[in-house]
Structure 1
Amino acid sequence: MIGKIVKGRSFKGCISYVIDAKDAKILASEGVLETDKGSIINSFYMQSLLNPKLSKCVGHIPLAFSPDDKERLTDQFMERLAKEYMKAMGIENTQYLIVRHNNTSHPHLHIVFNRVDNDGKTISDKNDRYRNEKVCKQLKDKYNLTYGKGKDNVNVQKLKGAEQTKYEIYHAIKAALPKAKNWRQFESLLDKQGVSIEYKRKGQTDEVQGISFKKDNHSFKGSDVDRKFSYSKLDAVLNENNHSQEQQIIIPAETQNTGSNLSENIVSGVADALSSVGGLFDIQPSNQGENEAEYLRQQALKKKKKPEKRRVMRR
């Protein structure tokens, strides 16, 4: 079970997409006239006028399920899951429409709701993406639903907007991480894929507390892209990559006494390896930690440095 949070401005576009799909079936509704599509759209629109300042009044959440659960997912069960999901997400006292689609291999439904509730108040979207993941997991555990096979199997091309960008960032990080042995290399590899890194620091210090990744106009915290991509976990992987590289170029003890020529060749080879490993950024393994800290410190100073104000001479 996976939920996707979407907010928009047009009830007409959203409801037309949901209802006009092949084999679409309305499972439940609240506060709307179901006589025809136009009546449904008008019902949502009229209530949105209670809070005209809210520009994105359309709430749209597709809920997708594993094909392995298809036999269990009757209309009644899917309606129950949708209503429990809405309650846990705080989507209450408002209009909604629950529509099941049968046009894909995996069972899924669409929840359309008015973010302007029956009293004219706004349905909160605070931390909604985090809450969405939490609620989906709770329902999967409660009803023993099948967990998906992970982000690697998601068809990114079928996604749109911020969700598509987040998955593109995920794949970029996953591809770059094994190849980097420090943050500078990691940044360089991501930059080639159009992804930049922003560090969150503690107060006015250089201590890094968090990390965000940005591509195009979308930015995500590392843990939002994937739980494995928090700053501390990424830092641990990069340190391990560096340690593994150092281990690979250590001279085996048993080869040190097999002859001067052999030893010289080995030492020469190790020197070449060190040069090729560190040459890109002129960082040697022996002082890797110091250079890494200095690099992050310099990055922080660049962001903090402000242009000097020009003084105007008074006469």
Structure 2
Amino acid sequence: MIADAKLNGSISTGIAVAKYMIDPNAKQTNEQTNKLKGSGTERILLIQTEASPAILMNTPPEIAAKKFMNTVVNWNNNHRPGRPKPKSHWEHRVISFHPDDKQKLNAQGAFTIARQALRMVASGNRPALYAVHGDTDHLHVHLLYSTVNETGKIHNPHADFRIWESAMETLEIEHNLHRVNKRLACSATDDSRRPDGTNPGTAEYRMTQRTGEKSCKEKLRNIINTAITECKSEPEDCRFFEFLNSLKKHRVSISANIQSTGRIAGIRLHYGIFSSSGIKASSLGRQFSWNQLSKAVGFDHNKTYNTGLLQLTDHRMSKWLHDEDNGMKWMRKTRRRFKSLTRTTTHNKPINSQGKRPLISASSSTSIFASPEFPVDYPEWLKQYIQALARAVNSEIAARKIADQKMHEFINNAINLFIEIQLLGIRNLTKRHFNKTHKIHKNINNTNTTPNFDR
């Protein structure tokens, strides 16, 4: 498939092009339309319109062309009120099929593919005129469409032939049509083109040519394809598990964007130069996007179970598993209430060879919480995950134990202090009472014991 013969211009030129598209005789004197005419007698196989009144067979071509162009101009004016008009109200393209495809396609099929291509290149709804011609060896479709969609956006991308070439390549694969060997928008050599029709980016292609080695992206593609092939030999409910295991063997990690609703919005792959921040799977090609990948590896067969697998094998979880702080660094970030406890446990601890104080020693950890035992069929990553949880729990228990011990000492000190205060108060009260009693007895001894009733 080839998309060429781009035309645009004045309204009168647009009318001439539309008339040529729908006129069986097509005797035009317009310079641009003469370039479109085939060598044989023009024969119109099918005429279709979108967002525009249908063209009747008994309507003269010139009148029908003027009506369609008026529809395009009115559409553009109505959808861009108060804004500048487009430089050209219309645009024209021709999509040509290989002669071998003529046996696979009829006029209706060619029209369907042309409409699909237009929607891939120029998004949105817009008035469009399609005319399928069969006067040459290769079936071809003329497209005349408005440059303004229903939102008022003008279709005028830079170097849009690359967009058309990409759409042609995609549709060739989708409809099993003849593949064009070389395209202007593709890389220089055919061997660098991928099976899904996409091509390596400029930086990736240049690096491959310079070093003579496969890029990290290409290695990732090969690993993923191998993992897909291996998992397809398993039952459907085990494919995704086997897919993750295969990636793990090649040291490829996954981090998923799991929304609050449980929907997977996409995944990132961590491998090679992308180990730290990762790379979007869709950046490797359309076939590696999550929508395509999830179908290939049977993710949808058991969503709940497979989503749990994604959470357990998350790359960020793996980083936490191998944290020398036994998971407490992660705990400090997510559970602020343990901040003071972790500070208490790390105080006066010996510094290790890395210059860090361990939160809890291995001996104290194992004495508080025994190491778990696993069934034989447990995968290694799951064992590591449970062991890391055990280490984190050990650290928390030890911290709680130390905190409880300090709290117990504090309470004992407080009780002892309170007892001392009570004893001191009792002694002071007794002393005051003794002094008062002693004073009374002294006064009695110093006075006459015989009462004076005269007073």
What is the TM-score when the length of structure 1 is the normalising length? 0.46
Say which structure is richer in strand: 1
- Higher relative contact order (Cα pairs below 8 Å, separated by 6+ residues): 1
Q: Bigger radius of gyration, 1 or 2?
A: 2
